[in-house]
Amino acid sequence: MAPIQNARVLFNSVPSGESAARGPNVLGSPSRRADYPAAPLNGGFLLKVLVLSVDPYFRGKIRAPEKKSYSPGFIIGAPLEGYGIGVVLRSETPGVEVGKYIYGLTIPHQEYLMLPELSDLEIIEKHPGLPWPAYVGAAGMPGKTAYVGWKEYSDAKPVTIPARTPLSALISGAVGSVVIQLAKQAGMKVIASAGSEEKVQYMKDLGADVAFNYKTTDTRAVLAKEGPINVYWDNVGSEVLEAALDFAAIHGRFSKCGMISGYNTGHQGIKNLKLVYGRSLNIHGILVFRLQAKYDKEFYATIPAKLASGEIKYAEEITRGQNKVGDDILAVRKGENKAKAVIVVAEE
């Protein structure tokens, strides 16, 4: 068989100034030919990439190499990489059989790749009632983030206990939409905010008791009426976090899994952090890879089945092919995506 094309999406350069906000100007998508059908495996395996995820944390990885963070940045001249799923086409790796599916954080944005070993990737089994795109969304990292953070830190109690009121901010995304449903299943009242009427309606459809557009509604007025806040899930930061702190209950539990409002502004300071000690608040930062070993087995035993049955709802915004990855990254950063952003690279 002749060599085949392998389309890739590369990190071309580090943006600066105003261009830092423009995802499409950062990326390119060249192809190259490679003899994957016949190339020596040298003990490794060949993977065909099926599905890739675009997530808010990408913005933090588009940075200069000398700038350090909790996870490595994208490498200039190399493909982007993130959560994805592929199928094994050829293998000489023990335990990695042809036809098996591979999932993990370090799947490059390209159509095929040769790997020497599994390393930090894993073999994954699919629930028969779920398509593969769900496994980079509600059945993947975003769903896991919601699940492990909620299980570990929420200390959820039913709404019949006085003032047990959770707030989720900008929760129409893949993480927050699962948090809403976990909170409702725990018997709690849910207050939710988003930046468009369409997303507000989606949160109501998921079961939120109170949902409002923070761009057109005074967040503090809503919380003054509906609070105090005992459990707060935040991926936003900024003024929304300040409002939640102002209306936090004594011993409230704040879970932080992101600060998307500051990704391009340098993260403005929160002015009322004195309330952390003034109200004896518990604040926990959530990175899924630090908790997933504790909950992985439980997560896969419960959540995919609930997604397949409809007990937990989810939504996706699928792009087919890699030509618009830059546009997808920009839409996620600006909150313009309507649901979890997924790229379908190839069908099985």
Indicate the burial class of 301 (C-beta count within 10 angstroms; 0-12, 13-18, 19 or more): exposed
At 27 the pLDDT is 60
Q: Which of 268, 245, 271 is nearest to 256 (CA)?
A: 245
Give me the torsion for CA of 240, 335, 263, 57, rounded to 10°.
Answer: 110
At 275 the pLDDT is 94
Q: Which helix (H) or strand (E) holds 168?
A: strand 166-169
Instruction: Output the DSSP codes for 202-269.
Output: HHHHHT-SEEEETTTS-HHHHHHHH--EEEEEES--HHHHHHHHHTEEEEEEEEE---GGGTTTT-PP
Region 66-82 average pLDDT: 88
The residue with greater pLDDT, 285 or 330, is 285
The residue with greater pLDDT, 72 or 51, is 51
Q: How confident is the model at residue 56 (pLDDT cuts 50, 70, 90)?
A: confident
User: Which of 27-41, 128-142, 199-213 has the highest average model confidence (pLDDT)?
Assistant: 128-142
Condensed to tens digits (0 to 9), the pLDDT of residues 146-188 reads: 999 999 998 876 655 555 566 654 454 678 899 999 989 988 8
At 170 the pLDDT is 41
What is the bridge-based pairing of β-strands 45-53 and 340-344?
antiparallel
At 24 the pLDDT is 43
Region 7-29 average pLDDT: 65
User: What percentage of the chain carries pLDDT values higher than 90?
Assistant: 51
Region 213-239 average pLDDT: 86
Question: Which of these ranges, 212-226, 255-269, 300-314, has the smallest mean pLDDT?
Answer: 255-269
Report the C-alpha gap between 113 and 47 in whole angstroms. Answer: 5
Mean of pLDDT over the chain: 86
Beta carbons within 8 Å of 98's beta carbon, 6+ residues apart: 88, 89, 90, 91
Residue 252, CA distances (Å) to 165, 180, 230, 234, 298 in order: 9, 17, 4, 13, 26
* pTM listed for this prediction: 0.88
At 167 the pLDDT is 63
At 161 the pLDDT is 53
At 82 the pLDDT is 95
Residue 150, CA distances (Å) to 134, 146, 229, 288 in order: 20, 6, 15, 11
Parse the chain into domains and list their residue ranges: 4-137+315-344, 142-289
The residue with greater pLDDT, 323 or 266, is 323
Report the C-alpha gap between 53 and 84 in whole angstroms. Answer: 6
Q: May I ask the CATH class of domain 4-137+315-344?
A: alpha beta
The residue with greater pLDDT, 264 or 223, is 223
Q: How confident is the model at residue 35 (pLDDT cuts 50, 70, 90)?
A: confident
User: Which of 20-24, 70-74, 290-294 has the highest average model confidence (pLDDT)?
Assistant: 290-294
At 332 the pLDDT is 84
At 29 the pLDDT is 64
CATH 3.40.50.720 describes domain 142-289:
yes
Q: Is residue 172 within 8 Å of 206, Cβ to Cβ?
A: no
Q: Is the pLDDT of residue 226 over 60?
A: yes
Q: Which of 306, 296, 298, 248 is nearest to 274 (CA)?
A: 248
User: Which of 80-89, 266-275, 323-332 has the highest average model confidence (pLDDT)?
Assistant: 80-89
Region 295-317 average pLDDT: 96
Question: Which of these ranges, 11-15, 273-277, 283-287, 293-297, has the smallest mean pLDDT?
Answer: 11-15
At 169 the pLDDT is 46
